[in-house]
Amino acid sequence: MEGKAISRMFAALSATNEAILRARSEDELHQRVCDAAVLGGKLLGAATFVAKSDGLLHCVALAGADFLAHFPKAVDPAQAQQGLCVIAFRTGRTIATNDYMNDRRMRLYRDAAFRLGVRSAVAIPIRRAGQVCGALCFFLRQTGGLSRHVVGVLERMAENVSFGLDRFGQVEQSEQLAKQNRRLFSAMNNIVSQGVALLDERGRLVMYNERCRQIFGLPPELTTPGTSLRRIAEFIKAEGSTLDEPAGYLQAAREQIAVKGRYECVVRMTDGRSIRVLSEQLRDGGYISLHEDITESLRQQASFRLLFDNNPVPMGVFEYGTWKFIAVNDAAVDLYGYTREEFLERAVTDFAVVADPDAYLKMLEALPLAERDGVIVKHRRADGRVLNVKIFSHALTYDGRPARLAASIDVTDQLRAEREIRRARGFLDAVIENIPMPVVVKAPKQADAQVGDWAYTLLNGAAEKLFGVTREKWIGRTPAEVQSAASVSIISKLDQEALTSGAAVTSEVSSAKLRGSMRTVKSYSTAIRDDRGRAEYLVAVFEDVTEQRRASERIAYFAHHDSLTGLPNRVAFDEFFPRALDASNGCGGELVVMCLDLDGFKDINDQYGHAAGDEVLRGITGRLRAAAEEGAFLARVGGDEFVLLWQNVGGAGKAGELAQRLIAASKTEFDVEGMKLRVGLSIGIAVSPMHGADCKTLLANADIALYQAKNEQRGTIRHFSKAMDSQVREERALRADLQRALEKGELHLHYQPQVDMDREVIGYEALLRWRSAARGDVSPMTFVPLAEETGLIVPIGEWVLREACREAASWSGRTKVAVNISPRQIKGGDLPGLVQRVLVDSGLPASRLELEITESVFIDDFTRALSTLMRLKALGVDIALDDFGTGYSSLSYLHAFPFDRIKVDRSFVADLGTNERSDAIMRAIVTMAKSLGIPVLAEGVETEQQWSWLSELGCDAVQGYLIGRPQPPHAISRGVTRVQAQN
């Protein structure tokens, strides 16, 4: 949107310039300017006030239909309460409001403004002979419509009106001003950072600057002195750039340098950057090559076209070498009488009226980078009439081609010449004014002035905004007169360095006085010297790098902080811990290390999703921060794991009190989208120096204490002790032994019979046993949970499946073998594929294999678990639901999958006949199963009374010590199909 507004403002500016050229009186000029603002700039209204001899400000021009009936004919600037125009007239500076209805200065005019639709406005003083003589007022219908770019163009309109009001002045002074501005404009290129490379006469690298290496990404081996330019060109070409083939590129460069003294081209890199390469031959036969990233310049070409096409000054762009025009504006078409198509078919030499065409061509070839003084030549129009024109030109790259921008001023009429020179000056001023980077120029007040006596001579619009000043306050004054002592000290140092170094000086400072907030600004300063080497100007270009620095700070912050909770992360903790321990050791104190782990957090993630889990984490973080001691360091080092470091200065017991507060803070429910969620907190504590003198030991011991707390009773606190260390070491040793048990053949299977109610053997359940060479028989209650926790259950489970099927294949009849399947096996891989391979390898019919699962397989991923069971069922194996009644006992599982058997947990069988609740539950399970057509097997049957109850209830099968204990394979009577009760 702002781009469109700027385009309209430039259209109004162009119309203003045309009005200055054609207006026959001041009143006509004022009215044309107001009309241009409304018609060309699409503003709501515009008015011009001029001071008259009666002391009043008279409205001499007005545009905008609704404004005609509401504006006063004259106002008294001496009165206290006045609008923007009077304030601008009295102060001599631009006065703007981006929110007219809420600006206290405008309270007397709000009703009228509301009716007219005014939402923002600006008043700009106009001058005659340097003195304020009135004000231009512009009114917009949008709140916030006055960006710095829009105001800058409107100020340029007012300044051009001021030029129009000045009577015919001195052409020589105008030319000097234009010369000065062109010179300053040219200086801008001298302070822009470029890549520079020096080569000897054979094209080998002598030296380069860092910017040169950065632009092309050259590796170290290509930046050593003596490296050939051809190797560098081959690298750039290989990287995918648009550079010509190295041999052709080098040949073209040598030929053009030999003819023209220079070679210029544009290389487009694969990342979209455009690099201009300019090479010239040195006197000693070597070469200097300059490399400049012109990507941003190309992006600004649209802005250049706007200034170029709509400028009233005749302008054209011609290509070096062919000298043909490649672009002309409408003003040039009008001046020379050719159509645009005819123009673009001609060269510069076709227009020149010269006695010696060859000499004229040599003059063109020898033109400097910028022709500041102008060259007067004779040009012939299309109708044959000869014009005396003064040509100002500047080299540039246009559409990737080396070219030259030329402005033609018809000096046949001296008056017109003066005005056109002003337009050229205005154009160059506009370019400087609209450069997005702040530009400031200083010049000495007198010859041989010290650096402190250099005064400001130019500030562009970007500089005004950066420093929060108007140029009128600074122009003609030294830094000491308008800036703080601290700023003057920095400026003087940089200026002195620029004057003595002969090169651009770079600096970076932060200040709260820039744009009303703390800003970080990078500056580039250089001295512009005359032909004798004396400094004429000090030019400084500024770049606001605040956002870049903030981005770097944000990157550093997120590298050391958890993005979810804002707490320090593992990296920050690892950096802080050694410093905290050193500080504690230095003062002889105790450093408390707490490992905190949330209880039940995984269940929240599994049941309610990670979004709910994230909310709980943010909530618990806030509570822990509030409950922690002042100065405590709290970090999130894992999903639901935290570490707290605290310098204990309160004596024994304080660490425990802090831990109790933390646990208490975690007990309150969290309200997440209407759900009441609860987590617990377990804490392990280690204290230096008694529990360790180094970070690794302290953290490990606190973690051991946390492990003990979670194993014994969640939601508790445990302080590290040596006994804990021994226990954890034992568990770790057990884990290591279990990992080796499968490899060493220490695992084996026992089989427990399953019978129907006629005591006929229908199958055996394969039960895992571990006889360790070092530990003897290890209880399954000890090692099976450990295998689940470590993931060893997956390879162990595969071994059990293979071994059980192999053994069962040797049994006679249709006796089944039942194998327990872990939830990890369901999640971890292709279980149906494994079962199919095992059945094929062992030769066991699928109908004789029963896989026992628990309800927990459905918890994490119901859909995947159900799909896996369906694939297993399709193989022909039976699926039994084990430990029924101890988990969620969700009937939805029985509805979702056709189980072949339900195995009732032994806890319900143990109380049969003595506990009415157990009797009722067992009766309900059997009744439900029969209605679903699912057989029921009761586990843990140890007495005849239990057998009788189960038989009476209609149970289908039993398993337990009453029938038989688990036995190794060789103890099973393979021919037995019926068993009696065991005593």
SS (H, E, C) 107-121: HHHHHHHHHHCCCEE
pLDDT of residue 187: 39
Tell me what pLDDT residue 142 has.
Answer: 86
What are 441's two structure tokens?
């120029």
* Greatest mean pLDDT among 240-249, 301-310, 696-705: 696-705
Predicted pLDDT at 365: 78
Q: Of 741, 765, 743, 744, nearest to 753 (Cα)?
A: 765
CB 572 within 8 A of CB 560: yes
- At residue 296, what is the residue type? E
Residue 177: predicted pLDDT:
41
**Rg value, the chain, Cα:** 45
Most confident of 4-18, 36-50, 429-443, 510-524: 36-50
Phi and psi torsions of 109, nearest 5°: -115, 10
Burial of 575 (0-12, 13-18, 19+ CB in 10 A): exposed
Q: Residue 166 and residue 522: Cα distance in Å, rounded? A: 39
Nearest one of 297, 308, 300 to 192, comparing CA atoms: 297
Task: Give me the count of residues in the chain.
Answer: 983
Read off the DSSP letter of residue 901: E
Find the DSSP H helices in 829-915: 831-842, 862-874, 891-896, 906-909
- The average confidence (pLDDT) of the chain is 83
As a dihedral over the C-alpha atoms of residue 33, residue 36, residue 37, residue 41, rounded to 10 degrees, the angle is -150
Q: What is the pLDDT of residue 704?
A: 87
The beta strand positions in 814-963, using DSSP E, are 816-820, 849-853, 878-884, 901-904, 936-939, 957-959
Q: Of 708, 711, 690, 691, whose CA–CA distance to 699 is shortest?
A: 691
Q: Which long-range contacts (CB under 8 A, 24 or more apart) does 737-740 make?
A: 737/772, 737/774, 737/775, 738/770, 738/783, 738/786, 738/787, 738/790, 738/792, 739/790, 739/792
Produce one character per residue of 668-684: b if its CB has 16 or more CB atoms within 10 Å, e if not.
Answer: eebebeeeebebbbbbb
Q: What is the DSSP letter of 21?
A: H
> Per-residue pLDDT tens for 488-539?
888 888 888 888 877 778 888 776 566 566 778 888 888 888 878 888 888 8
Query: Which range among 105-114, 207-216, 919-928 has the greatest average pLDDT?
Result: 919-928
Give the CA angle between residues 634, 584, 627 to the nearest 5°: 30
Distance of CA 552 to the CA centre of its chain: 10
Q: Distance of CA 261 to CAs 208, 253, 321, 365, 397, Å?
A: 21, 10, 12, 10, 17
Nearest to 183 by CA among 492, 491, 543, 432: 432
**Cβ distance 388 to 352 under 8 Å?**
no
Q: What residue spans of 631-756 are helical by DSSP H? A: 654-666, 695-712, 722-744
DSSP labels, 583-625: HHHHHT-EEEEEEEEEESHHHHHHHH-HHHHHHHHHHHHHHHH
Highest mean pLDDT among 279-283, 583-587, 679-683: 679-683
| 8 A C-beta contact, residue 637 and residue 581 | no
Residue 418, pLDDT score: 60
Task: Give residue-wise pLDDT tens across range 421-452.
Answer: 566 566 666 767 777 788 889 888 887 788 78
**Which residue did the predictor score with more confidence, 468 or 938?**
938
* pLDDT score, position 22: 77
Instruction: For residues 387 and 577, give the distance between their C-alpha atoms in angstroms, rounded to a whole number.
Output: 83
Whether the model clears a pTM of 0.85, i.e. scores above it, the answer is no
| Cβ contact 161:134 at 8 Å | no
* Partners of residue 324 on adjacent β-strands: 347
Amino acid, res. 1: M
State which amino acid sits at residue 530: D
Give the separation between CA 658 and CA 628, rounded to whole angstroms: 7
Amino acid 772: pLDDT: 86
Contact yes or no for 870/847 (Cβ under 8 A): no
- Name the strand (E) or helix (H) holding 210: helix 210-216
